Amino acid sequence: MQASHVFHRQLLQDMPVAVSGQGITLTDSQGKTYLDASGGAAVSCLGHGHPDVIAAMHRQLDQLAYAHTSFFTTAVAEELADTLIDTAPAGMSNVYFVSGGSEAVEAALKMARQYFVEIGQPQREHFIARRQSYHGNTLGALAVGGNAWRREQFKPLLIEVEHVSPCYEYRDRRADETAEQYGQRLVAELEATIERLGGDKVIAFVAETVGGATAGVLTPVPGYFKGVRELCDRHGILLILDEVMCGMGRTGTLHACEQEGVVPDLMTIAKGLGGGYQPIGAVLAQSRIVETFRQGSGLFQHGHTYLGHAVACAAALAVQRVIQRDGLLAQVRERGAQLQALFQEAFGDHPHVGDVRGRGLFWGIELVADRASKQWFDPALKLHARIKRAAMAEGLMCYPAGGSVDGRCGDHILLAPPFVSTPDELAQIVQRLRRAIDKTLAGVPTLATA
Ligand SMILES: Cc1ncc(COP(=O)(O)O)c(C=O)c1O
């Protein structure tokens, strides 16, 4: 085969060529099919080839593909914003459209900083975020992100951000603590960090409501985010919740924060917003923040060429309408319970599955060399990469990653099947995953190293 001119993510690997997609199945150029059990990277909530979304995109293309937002607004962007605000957490009034998750996080960070400049608190200059988090790969998003490996070589380019502990119950809750007490210990750690930096020096605390890509679906313990919210309020600090991966229905409610009983000041969304039909992300902002901008400088000093792209907005609007029309949030909860039962059956007594955690159709499986001690596999084995290859050979797309524990050690597999998956498809996913894991483990030494 002729050498590819694409600058691929992995330069040493030949990728299959995807040629078509229908429902939860992708087909490559050899005719091999793959069940998309991760929705790519928790993106394809409606699966592939959804006729309503495709028709909406065609209609928009025939009318207008693109109009720059410094000249025009469009009916479709206005309608999408209305739809998102109708269903947003209390107090959200406006939507800032971008083209993906990292752009949404960058915009939220700058929005938060400019807000404090506008209200006469320019001394606020610190962000606090969490270790083991992922907020994107652009420099601002990477700086707030807490994955040591992803940050390492770019450190000299990153703004300084304080990182506190993630909410990682499986590994970090002590045996003598309840889940609530563990959550309060984390809140106390955050409080100590705020006090060390100075409560009037901090711009925002940034967190994924449910941790996703880099630690494998870390669900918050009860009361944790309520404690965080109170702390932020007490110090006048903004709470930015990153729901790029866990939001837009993935956990069984439209926004993951609904299950925590908290409302953020700014919230980022992407992935499931457009379901992969177009690149689109957004920041949802509280009216208090938007009004401050309106009555202050009158502009947010930011922007990109493709903000509010008309075809992207049309795709997202169609995706969100299908989710509402077809009652897919309830379906996510129902299928989520089915998937959890299938996991229990397949992995409940598996010697190398340490933890299975998740909500709705968003699940993480943490692999361990030894269940009792929770000892991880030697990271040099790159177990996660082997499992991904084995799964692809089985005709299964899942989303494994390494460094779950500290950016270096630990392996997990993330699953985020489309909301439209049938019970039979979920059963096939779990069967293929079990085969991929067992075949992989059969081929590696199971002795762990620290
Ligand atoms: C929570 C979270 N934030 C931000 C991003 C970055 O999004 P994108 O890859 O669209 O830039 C991701 C991507 O996985 C994510 O999971």
Ligand 1 neighbour 105 (Cβ under 6 A)? yes
Is any atom of ligand 1 closer than 6 Å to the C-beta of 242? yes
Structure confidence at residue 176 (pLDDT): 98
Quick check: 438 pLDDT over 90?
Answer: yes
- In one letter, which amino acid is 197? L
Confidence (pTM): 0.98
Residues sharing a CB contact under 8 Å with residue 175, sequence separation 6 or more, in sequence order: none
**Measured in angstroms, how far is the CA atom of residue 144 from the centroid of ligand 1?**
12
Separation of alpha carbons 267 and 135, rounded Å: 12
Identify which of 102, 130, 248 to mutate to test ligand 1's pocket (most ligand atoms within 8 A of the CB).
Answer: 102
Confidence of residue 348 (pLDDT cuts 50, 70, 90): very high
Q: Is 392 in the pocket of ligand 1 (CB under 6 A)?
A: no
CB distance 15 to 8 below 8 Å: yes
Q: What is the mean pLDDT of residues 33-52?
A: 98
User: With a 6 A CB cut-off, is 411 part of the ligand 1 pocket?
Assistant: no
Comparing 305-314, 410-419, 422-431, 438-447, the range with the smallest average pLDDT is 438-447
pLDDT of residue 446: 54
Q: What one-character-per-residue DSSP string does 216-238 give?
A: T-BPPPTTHHHHHHHHHHHHT-E
Q: What is the mean pLDDT of residues 376-403?
A: 97
- CB-ligand 1 contact for 130 (6 Å cutoff): no
Reported as type and span, the H/E element at residue 36 is strand 33-36
Ligand 1 near 244 CB (within 6 A): yes
Ligand 1 site-directed mutation target among 134, 218, 250, 251, most atoms within 8 Å of CB:
134
Evaluate: CB of 213 within 6 angstroms of ligand 1.
Answer: yes
Say if ligand 1 is within 6 A of residue 126 CB: no
Query: How many other C-beta atoms lie within 10 A of the C-beta of residue 216?
Result: 32
Percent of all residues in the chain with a pLDDT value above 70, rounded to a whole number: 98
Overall average pLDDT of the 63-79 stretch: 98
Mean pLDDT of 28-32: 98
Q: Whose alpha carbon is nearest atom 4 of ligand 1?
A: 135
Rounded Cα–Cα distance for residues 146 and 134 (Å): 6
134 within ligand 1 shell (Cβ under 6 A) = yes
Atom number of ligand 1 nearest to Cα 212: 16
Which numbered atom of ligand 1 lies nearest the CA of 101? Answer: 7
Nearest Cα neighbor of 433 from 369, 350, 335, 375 is 350
**pLDDT tens, position by position, 10-26:** 999 889 999 999 999 99
Q: pLDDT category, 444, cuts 50, 70, 90?
A: confident
Tell me: pLDDT of 448 over 80: no
Residue 244 C-alpha to ligand 1 middle, in angstroms? 6
Q: Does ligand 1 have an atom closer than 6 angstroms to the CB of 209? A: no
Report the nearest atom of ligand 1 relative to the CA of 268: 3
At 339 the pLDDT is: 98
Asked if the model's pLDDT at residue 449 lies above 50, the reply is no
Ligand 1 pocket member 270 (CB < 6 A): yes
Q: In angstroms, what is the span from residue 351 Cα to ligand 1's centroid?
A: 32
**Residue 403 Cβ < 6 Å to ligand 1:** no
What is the tens place of the pLDDT at every residue in 132-141? 999 999 999 9
Helix and strand tally (H, E) in the chain? 14, 15
Q: Any bridge partners for residue 358, and if so which?
A: 363
Query: For 152-180, how does the pLDDT look when each residue is reduced to its tens digit (9 = 90+)?
Result: 999 999 999 999 999 999 999 999 999 99
Mean pLDDT of 297-322: 98
> Which residue has tokens 């089915």?
338
CA 270 to centroid of ligand 1, rounded, Å: 8
Index of the ligand 1 atom closest to the CA of residue 141: 4
pLDDT at 340 exceeding the cut of 70: yes
Per-residue pLDDT at 450 exceeds 50: no
Cα 175 to averaged position of ligand 1 atoms, centre (Å): 33
Distance CA 273, CA 287 (A): 21
Q: pLDDT per residue over 75-126, tens digit each?
A: 999 999 999 999 999 999 999 999 999 999 999 999 999 999 999 999 999 9
- Positive/negative CA dihedral, 303, 304, 309, 312: negative
Task: Say what the pLDDT of residue 2 is.
Answer: 72
Averaged pLDDT of the chain: 97
Under a CB-based contact definition with an 8 Å cutoff, are residues 129 and 204 in contact? no
At residue 191, does pLDDT exceed 70?
A: yes
- Asked if pLDDT for residue 447 goes beyond 70, the answer is no
Band the pLDDT of 1: cuts 50, 70, 90.
low
- The verdict on the CB of residue 101 being under 6 Å from ligand 1 is yes
Is 144 within 8 Å of 105 (Cβ atoms)?
Answer: yes
| pLDDT tens, residue by residue, 237-258 | 999 999 999 999 999 999 999 9
Q: Per-residue pLDDT tens for 353-370?
A: 999 999 999 999 999 999
What's the sign of the alpha-carbon dihedral 157, 289, 212, 219?
positive
Measured CA distances, 296 to 96, 343, 411 (Å): 18, 53, 48
HSE-CB for 306 with a 13 A CA cutoff:
14
